């Protein structure tokens, strides 16, 4: 997995969402370091499930409040990740440890493709709204 250290360039311009993303990075780093340790994987899965539930809900509510035009597609991507995490968690908890090795790659890809691309669209939309409000 790529180096997942927080930088300010990753910010989406919302303190709560940035904090969530930093938490996601911490979970990802833990997985990357010890994805063969069953206790670590079980703990990370539990944290990811909580993260997904709370963060996705907060993010979608904020996007809805500002009439973010890409919300429907964003929700679909959230639904995909949520389902993927649930499936991996169920398979892992029912005794197939081989799926644990897929987690570091999954969370790394999710971070780079979703947070740094899709969530950045939200940041650009917020900036555009602010510019529009200042012009009035």
CATH number for the domain that contains residue 77:
1.20.120.50
Band of pLDDT at residue 130, cut at 50, 70 and 90 = confident
Higher-pLDDT residue of 3 and 64 is 64
Q: Is residue 33 part of a domain?
A: yes
**In this structure, what are the phi and psi dihedrals at residue 2, rounded to the nearest 5 degrees?**
-70, 165
> Mean pLDDT throughout 80-89?
89
Provide the token pair at 122. Answer: 């939200």
Q: What is the pLDDT of residues 43-79, one digit of tens each?
A: 888 888 888 899 999 999 999 999 999 999 999 999 9
Query: How many domains is the chain built from?
Result: 1
Q: Phi, psi (5° rounding) for residue 67? A: 55, 45
pLDDT of residue 60: 95
Measured at the alpha carbon of residue 58, what is the angle toward residues 53 and 60, in degrees to the nearest 5? 95
- State the pTM of this model: 0.84
For residue 128, what are the domain limits? 14-135
- Please check whether residue 73 lies inside any domain of the structure: yes
**Percent with pLDDT over 90 in the chain:** 26
The verdict on residue 2 lying in a domain is no
6 lies in some domain: no
- Over residues 3-7, the mean pLDDT reads 79
Whether residue 23 is contained in a domain is answered as: yes
In whole angstroms, what is the distance from residue 61 CA to residue 28 CA?
Answer: 25
The whole-number pLDDT of residue 69 equals: 94
């Amino acid at each position: 997995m790529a180096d997942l250290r927080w930088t300010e360039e990753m910010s989406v311009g919302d303190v709560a969402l940035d904090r969530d993303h930093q938490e996601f990075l911490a979970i990802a780093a833990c997985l990357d370091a010890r994805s063969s340790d069953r206790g670590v994987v079980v703990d990370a899965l539990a944290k990811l499930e909580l993260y997904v539930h709370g963060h996705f809900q907060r993010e979608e509510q904020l996007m809805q409040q500002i009439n973010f035009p890409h919300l429907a597609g964003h929700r679909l991507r959230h639904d995909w990740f949520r389902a993927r995490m649930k499936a991996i968690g169920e398979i892992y908890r029912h005794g197939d440890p081989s799926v644990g090795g897929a987690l570091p790659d999954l969370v790394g890809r999710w971070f780079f493709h979703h947070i740094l691309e899709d969530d950045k669209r939200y940041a650009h939309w917020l900036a555009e709204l602010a510019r529009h409000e200042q012009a009035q």
